[in-house]
Structure 1
Amino acid sequence: MTESRSDLYPGQEVICIDDQVPLADGTSVKDANITEGTIYRLRWVGMATHYVFGDYLGVKLEGVNSGFGEAWGQPDAPYNAKRFRPLVKDTIAVFRSIAADPTRTIDAPEGPRRGKKLPVRAPSREKTKVEIE
């Protein structure tokens, strides 16, 4: 199954949301060329094919040579677009787009959390009247 994201285009600023590279044993390691939370500019966007990952929407970043495809004869292979999201400068743009087209579906920019735990706040308890006095 292929994914299409019409919200990505060359020259656009994006933020990395996943800098982990999955390994065959199910674990993952940090990608040496990109860092989660860092802003990059796209230099190429398009469909890519990899014999292990299959077809996917790929992106290439300005100033970054991925290097991971060289072992398979594909130098500077594109990163999966799921690892990036558009940098949002207009924080209410998504609400304007919903107002313009109420039938539009909005997906979470991060996609699935892949095992990352979200911070959990400890439940607070209200003080009783006796404790306050």
Structure 2
Amino acid sequence: MTYQFHVGQQVVCIDDKVPLEGGAVVKDAAITEGQVYTLRWVGMASHYVFGSYLGVKLEGVDSKFGEAWGVKDAPFAARRFRPLVKDRMASLRALQNPNQPIAPAPEEPKRRVTTKEEEKA
């Protein structure tokens, strides 16, 4: 799934786990699954261990994990977040029409849906 992130966008953390060597997994101390954050930076990041990835930085959160490798405030992987969608049903309705955006902006007018009575006429 592809997301289009932008600075100022609100996102929800969907993965606060950090894999360790040997298959162990620990919770990331800087972020919490289910918590809403605001993006302050979005871009490609490169790390000699993790390679290149789409990264995000969050307002009020310093990742701290990159300090061990000499990278201050390293970006989190964007795959660990999803955009906050205020109208969840809009995303499902948009799937019916491939020309519509997945999550319409709140200021967009509501789409009119035809009823069965109108279709029969």
Q: Normalised by the size of structure 2, how large is the TM-score?
A: 0.75
Q: 2:13 aligns with which of 13, 16, 30?
A: 16
Is 1:26 the counterpart of 2:23 in the alignment? Answer: yes
Q: Which runs of 4+ in 1 moved over 6 A?
A: none
- Is 1:67 aligned with 2:73? no
Match for 1:38: what amino acid?
Q
Whole-angstrom CA distance in 2 between matches of 1:50 and 1:16: 21
Task: Give the C-alpha shift of residue 96 in structure 1.
Answer: 4.2
Q: Distance in 2 between matches of 1:48 and 1:5?
A: 17
How far, CA to CA, are the matches of 1:93 and 1:55 in structure 2?
33
Aligned to 2:110: none
In structure 1, what is the Cα distance between the partners aligned to 2:74 and 2:51?
Answer: 13
Quote the residue 2:39 is aligned against: 42
Name stretches of at least 5 consecutive residues in structure 2 with no aligned partner.
Answer: 103-121
In terms of fraction of residues, the more helix-rich structure is 2
* TM superposition shift of 1:50: 0.9
Spell out the pairing of 1:1-133 with structure 2 (5 A cutoff): 5-101=2-98
Q: Which amino acid aligns with 1:68?
A: F
The Cα of 1:5 is off from its aligned counterpart by 4.0
Aligned residue number for residue 112 of structure 1: none
Offset from partner CA, 1:43-95 (integer Å, 9 cap, x none): 11111111111111100000000011011111000000111111110212223
Which ranges of structure 1 fall in alignment gaps of 5 or more residues?
A: 106-133
Which secondary structure state, in structure 2, belongs to the residue aligned with residue 74 of structure 1? coil
Deviation per CA, 1:10-35, whole angstroms, max 9, x where unpaired?
11111111111111111111111111
| Residue of structure 2 in register with 1:124 after alignment | none
Q: State the secondary structure of the residue aligned to 2:23.
A: coil
Post-superposition shift, 1:100? 3.7
- Give the total of aligned pairs: 101
**Rg larger in structure:** 1
- The verdict on how the C-alpha distance between 1:40 and 1:64 changes in structure 2, with shifts beyond 3 A counting, is same
